[in-house]
C-alpha cells in the first residue's frame, strides 16, 4: 500500500462503491458495517495524505448509491448529507474541541444526543399540511419516490396537526423495524422459503422499496422524526418539540446535554440500555443544539461540522470458519457450532458461534474455510449471520450431518418434518442425563417424591448416578455426602425410590422419555402390548396399529428400542427390581367410550388419582364439558363446569356415587 497509494485508492473506491450499491440500492450488504467503516477511513486517510489523488467521484464525496431504477427520482431541495463517525472517546473529544475552536468559544456547547436508529433515512414533504411526497436519501442529491409506501406507515402523519399548518415544510427521519417485527418477518420467510433478511435495517429498507404498497403495509414499519432542515427556529430542541406538536413520533431517548462530559455520560447510559430497546441502534448522534451555530460551523465534503455519530462497538464482524462441531443439548438436539478464528465483536472475543441446524447451514451455504459475518448482541449467543461468498477460497469443506451422537455414539436421527437432528440415546446419553432423570422421577412418571432439579444436578455432578438405573443403587451413606442433605431427607428419598419400583406399565413407559410419547400414548401402548418385550420388538407397521399413533411417533418409538444403550438401561432397571402391573383387558374395562369431567375437590382422591382410576376402567377424562360428556364428577367448590353440566342435563356424580361407580 505504501509503495502504490494510487493503486490502493483505486481498489478502495471500487470496493466501497460496490458495497454502497449493495447496502443502499439492493438492501443486500455483503460486509459488516465495521468492515465498511475501516475501508472508508483508510480511503479518507490516503486521500488526505495524497491530496493530488483526490477526485470528485470518490465515495468520500458521496453519501450513498444512485437511486434504484424501479422508482421515480426526486431531487432534494436541501442535500441529505451523511455524518462523520467517531469510534472512541478521543474522537468525540476531538470533535468537541474543534466545535469550540471554530466557534471561538471557551464555554461548553449545548448538544442534543439522539440514538442512531439502524434504519433508512427518508424525507417527507408536506404542502399546506398534507403529505405531498416521500423520498429516500439516495445519493444525497436525489432519492427514490416512496410516497405510497410511506403512507402505509402508521407513525407517519398524512397531515400535520396544526391550526395553521405551514404552506411547505420538509421533515426528515428514520424508517425502522422493531426487533419483534423483524423476528416475525424472518420466521414467516423461513416457513415460506422466501428471502431471510440479515438485520432489521436490511429488512426495513427492503420493505420500503416494495413496488406493491400492500407488502410494505404488512411489514408494519415504524418511523421517528428527527429534523426540520429549513426550520425558522432557534434550536434543534425546538425543532423536535415542533415535530411532536405536529403529530410526529420522536424518540423518547433524545436528551439535551452539555459539553464533552455530557456526551460521554449519555453514551455510557444508552449503551447499558441498548439491548433492552425494542429497536436496533448502532450508535449516538450528537448535534450542536443552536441552529445559528450550526450554520456558522457549516459543512465539509459530505458531512456537517456540527454533528457526529459515535458508533457502538461492532455487533457484527468478519472472521473465518475453522471447523464445525455438534453439541448435544439437554433434550438430545444436536446443534452445529462453528469454531471460528477468534474475533472481537459485541465487546468480547468470540471463537464459537451457533449455526442453529442443518437447514440453516444449507440455506446460508456455510462451509469450513469460509469467511463469514458473525453477529452478537448483548448476552445473545453469537451466530453466523451470512457467508461472504466473494471471499470464498477455492477449496472449502461442506458440513455433513452427523449419523451418531458425538457423546454417547447412539444413532442420530432427523425425523421427517423436523429441522433438528436428535440423539436417540435418550435415557443413556450423558448429555441428556439430567433431563432424563428429572422426567423419570416426575409425578406422572415414577413419582419419586423429593427428587427435584437441584438434587438431580448434585447427583449427576458428583457422579453418584450416570443413568436413571443408578437411582436404585443409591444408599444412605452416599446421599449424606451431598450438600444440605440431612439423614431424614435422605431416608425419605430412598423410601420414595423403593416405593417407585412397583408401578403401572404405562407409567414406566412414560418415564422412559420416548420422544412424543405422553401419558395417553403410554397408556395406549400398555393396553396394546401387555409385555414390555413385545413392545421392544415391535416393527413400525405394528406400532401404527395402536390407537392415536402416527408415522412420526411410531418411528420415534421404534428407534428408541433399537438403541443398545437404552436397552442396557432398561435391563438394569428390571435387575434393580422395577416391576409393573398390566392394564386390564377390554372386558374388564367397562367404561370404554365414556367421557368424564372432574371438577371441584374430592376428599379421597386427588385429581390425578381420580383420573387414573377412570382411565384404568377405559374412560376418557376431558377438561371441558360438552354435549358429548357422559358424567361430571363434582367435589366441593365445583364451579362453572358443574353449572354447564346442569344446563345440558348431564349426569352429575358426587364423591360417594363416584366411589360406588368405581366399585362396580
Question: Is residue 199 assigned to a domain?
Answer: yes
Residue pair 615/621 in contact (Cβ under 8 Å)? The answer is yes
Q: Which residues are catalytic?
A: 116
3-class DSSP string for 458-483: HHHHCCCCCCHHHHHHCCHHHHHCCC
Phi first, then psi: what are they for 261, rounded to 5°?
-60, -45
Task: Report d(CA 399, CA 322) in Å as an integer.
Answer: 12
Please report which residue ranges of 462-598 form alpha helices under DSSP H: 476-480, 487-499, 505-511, 519-528, 532-536, 540-543, 551-560, 564-575
**What's 432's domain CATH number?**
1.10.150.20
Q: Which residues of the chain have pLDDT under 70?
A: 1-3, 23-27, 61-70, 301, 347, 377-380, 582-588, 664
How much is the pLDDT for 437?
Answer: 92
Contacts of 395 (CB under 8 A, 6+ apart): 369
**What's 603's domain CATH number?**
3.40.50.10190
Q: Are strands 307-311 and 85-86 parallel, antiparallel or unpaired?
A: parallel
Q: What is the DSSP letter of 576?
A: T
Q: What is the DSSP letter of 109?
A: P
Task: Report d(CA 88, CA 477) in Å as an integer.
Answer: 60
Number of domains within the chain:
5
Task: Report d(CA 556, CA 600) in Å as an integer.
Answer: 37
Say if residue 289 is in the same domain as residue 367: no
Say if residue 466 is in the same domain as residue 532: yes
Question: Is residue 404 assigned to a domain?
Answer: no
How much is the pLDDT for 26?
Answer: 64
Question: Is residue 408 assigned to a domain?
Answer: no
Within 10 angstroms of residue 261's Cβ, the number of other Cβ atoms is: 11
Within 10 angstroms of residue 246's Cβ, the number of other Cβ atoms is: 20
The pLDDT tens digits of the residues spanning 146-179 come to 998 899 898 898 889 888 889 999 999 999 999 9
How much is the pLDDT for 431?
Answer: 87
Domain range for 369 is: 316-398
- The three grid cell numbers given for residue 370, joined into one nine-digit string: 469460509
Burial bucket for residue 320 (CB in 10 Å: 0-12, 13-18, 19+): middle
Question: Is residue 10 assigned to a domain?
Answer: yes
Say if residue 226 is in the same domain as residue 208: yes
Say if residue 235 is in the same domain as residue 303: yes
The pLDDT tens digits of the residues spanning 349-381 come to 889 998 988 888 988 899 999 999 998 765 567
Q: Among residues 536, 526, 530, 534, which one has the least CA distance to residue 559?
A: 536
Domain boundary, last residue among 342, 365, 398: 398
Question: Whats the size of the chain, residue-wise?
Answer: 664
Say if residue 304 is in the same domain as residue 372: no
Question: Is residue 254 assigned to a domain?
Answer: yes
- 553 CA to centre of own chain: 28
Say if residue 572 is in the same domain as residue 593: no
Torsion angle of alpha carbons 153, 154, 155, 158, nearest 10°? 90
Contacts of 404 (CB under 8 A, 6+ apart): 410, 411, 412
Question: Is residue 639 assigned to a domain?
Answer: yes
Say if residue 306 is in the same domain as residue 320: no
Task: Report d(CA 500, CA 580) in Å as an integer.
Answer: 10
Task: Report d(CA 19, CA 42) in Å as an integer.
Answer: 15
Domain boundary, last residue among 543, 562, 581: 581
**What's 393's domain CATH number?**
2.40.50.140
Helices (H) and strands (E) in the chain, counts: 24, 28
Question: Is residue 413 assigned to a domain?
Answer: no
Phi first, then psi: what are they for 64, rounded to 5°?
-140, -125
Say if residue 147 is in the same domain as residue 222: yes
How much is the pLDDT for 497?
Answer: 95
Say if residue 496 is in the same domain as residue 569: yes
Task: Report d(CA 55, CA 618) in Å as an integer.
Answer: 87
**What's 90's domain CATH number?**
3.30.470.30
Domain boundary, last residue among 368, 398, 428: 398
Say if residue 58 is in the same domain as residue 116: no
How much is the pLDDT for 586?
Answer: 46
**Helix, strand, coil tally for the chain in percent (to 5):** 40, 20, 40
Cα–Cα distances (Å) from 187 to 118, 119, 163, 180, 183, in that order, read: 20, 20, 44, 11, 6
Within 10 angstroms of residue 625's Cβ, the number of other Cβ atoms is: 21
Say if residue 517 is in the same domain as residue 570: yes
Question: Is residue 646 assigned to a domain?
Answer: yes
Three-state SS at 636: strand
Within 10 angstroms of residue 240's Cβ, the number of other Cβ atoms is: 23
Element holding 282 (H helix, E strand): strand 281-288
Say if residue 507 is in the same domain as residue 366: no
Amino acid at each position: 500500500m505504501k509503495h502504490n497509494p494510487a493503486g490502493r485508492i483505486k481498489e478502495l473506491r471500487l470496493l466501497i462503491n460496490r458495497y454502497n450499491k449493495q447496502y443502499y440500492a439492493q438492501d443486500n450488504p455483503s460486509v459488516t458495517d465495521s468492515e465498511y467503516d475501516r475501508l472508508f477511513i483508510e480511503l479518507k486517510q490516503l486521500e488526505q495524505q495524497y491530496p493530488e489523488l483526490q477526485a470528485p467521484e470518490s465515495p468520500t464525496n458521496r453519501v450513498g448509491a444512485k437511486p434504484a431504477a424501479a422508482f421515480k427520482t426526486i431531487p432534494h431541495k436541501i442535500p441529505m448529507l451523511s455524518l462523520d463517525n467517531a469510534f472512541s472517546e478521543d474522537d468525540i473529544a476531538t470533535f468537541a474541541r474543534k466545535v469550540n475552536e471554530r466557534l471561538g468559544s471557551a464555554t461548553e456547547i449545548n448538544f442534543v444526543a439522539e440514538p442512531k436508529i439502524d434504519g433508512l433515512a427518508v424525507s417527507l414533504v408536506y404542502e399546506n399540511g398534507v403529505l405531498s411526497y416521500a423520498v429516500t436519501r439516495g445519493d444525497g442529491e436525489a432519492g427514490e419516490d416512496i410516497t405510497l409506501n410511506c403512507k402505509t406507515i402508521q407513525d407517519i402523519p398524512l397531515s400535520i396537526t396544526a391550526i395553521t399548518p405551514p404552506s411547505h415544510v420538509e421533515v426528515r427521519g428514520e424508517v425502522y423495524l422493531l426487533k419483534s417485527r423483524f423476528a416475525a418477518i424472518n420466521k414467516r420467510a423461513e416457513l415460506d422459503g422466501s428471502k431471510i433478511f440479515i438485520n432489521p435495517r436490511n429488512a426495513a429498507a427492503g420493505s420500503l422499496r416494495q413496488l406493491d404498497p400492500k407488502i410494505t403495509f404488512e411489514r408494519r414499519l415504524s418511523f421517528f422524526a428527527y429534523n426540520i432542515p429549513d426550520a425558522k427556529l432557534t434550536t434543534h430542541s425546538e425543532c423536535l418539540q415542533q415535530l411532536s406538536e405536529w403529530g410526529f413520533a420522536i424518540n423518547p431517548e433524545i436528551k439535551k446535554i452539555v459539553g464533552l462530559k455530557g456526551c460521554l455520560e449519555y453514551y455510557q447510559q444508552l449503551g447499558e440500555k441498548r439491548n433492552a430497546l425494542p429497536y436496533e441502534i448502532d450508535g449516538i448522534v450528537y448535534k450542536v443544539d443552536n441552529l445559528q451555530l450550526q450554520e456558522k460551523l457549516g459543512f465539509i465534503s459530505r458531512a456537517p461540522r456540527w454533528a457526529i455519530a459515535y458508533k457502538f462497538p461492532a455487533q457484527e464482524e468478519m472472521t473465518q470458519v475453522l471447523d464445525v462441531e455438534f453439541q448435544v443439548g439437554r433434550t438430545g438436539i444436536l446443534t452445529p457450532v462453528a469454531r471460528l478464528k477468534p474475533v472481537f465483536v459485541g465487546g468480547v472475543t468470540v471463537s464459537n458461534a451457533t449455526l442453529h441446524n442443518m437447514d440453516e447451514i444449507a440455506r446460508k451455504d456455510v462451509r469450513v474455510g469460509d469467511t463469514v459475518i458473525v453477529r452478537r448482541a448483548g448476552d445473545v449467543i453469537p451466530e453466523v449471520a451470512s457467508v461472504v461468498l466473494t471471499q470464498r477460497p477455492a477449496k472449502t469443506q461442506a458440513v455433513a450431518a452427523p449419523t451418531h451422537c458425538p457423546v454417547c455414539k447412539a444413532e442420530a436421527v432427523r425425523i421427517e418434518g423436523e429441522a433438528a437432528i436428535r440423539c436417540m440415546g435418550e435415557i443413556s446419553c450423558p448429555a441428556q442425563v439430567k433431563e432424563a432423570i428429572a422426567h423419570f422421577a416426575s409425578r406422572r412418571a415414577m413419582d419419586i417424591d423429593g427428587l427435584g432439579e437441584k438434587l438431580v444436578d448434585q447427583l449427576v455432578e458428583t457422579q453418584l448416578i450416570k443413568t436413571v438405573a443408578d437411582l436404585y443403587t443409591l444408599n444412605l451413606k452416599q446421599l449424606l455426602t451431598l450438600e444440605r442433605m440431612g439423614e431424614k431427607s435422605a431416608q425419605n428419598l430412598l423410601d420414595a425410590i423403593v416405593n417407585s419400583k412397583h408401578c403401572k406399565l404405562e407409567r414406566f413407559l412414560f418415564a422412559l422419555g420416548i420422544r412424543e410419547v405422553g401419558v395417553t400414548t403410554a397408556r395406549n401402548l400398555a393396553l396394546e402390548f401387555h409385555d414390555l418385550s413385545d413392545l421392544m420388538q415391535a416393527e413400525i407397521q405394528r406400532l401404527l396399529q395402536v390407537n392415536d399413533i402416527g408415522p412420526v411417533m411410531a418411528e420415534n418409538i421404534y428407534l428408541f428400542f433399537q438403541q443398545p444403550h437404552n436397552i442396557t438401561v432398561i435391563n438394569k432397571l428390571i435387575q434393580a427390581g422395577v416391576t409393573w402391573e398390566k392394564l386390564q383387558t377390554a372386558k374388564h374395562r367397562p367404561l370404554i367410550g365414556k367421557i368424564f369431567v372432574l371438577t371441584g375437590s374430592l376428599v379421597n382422591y386427588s385429581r390425578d388419582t381420580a383420573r387414573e382410576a377412570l382411565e384404568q376402567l377405559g374412560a376418557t377424562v376431558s377438561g371441558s364439558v360438552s354435549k358429548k360428556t357422559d358424567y361430571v364428577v363434582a367435589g366441593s367448590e365445583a364451579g362453572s363446569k358443574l353449572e354447564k353440566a346442569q344446563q345440558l342435563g348431564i349426569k352429575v356424580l358426587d364423591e360417594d356415587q363416584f366411589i360406588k361407580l368405581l366399585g362396580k
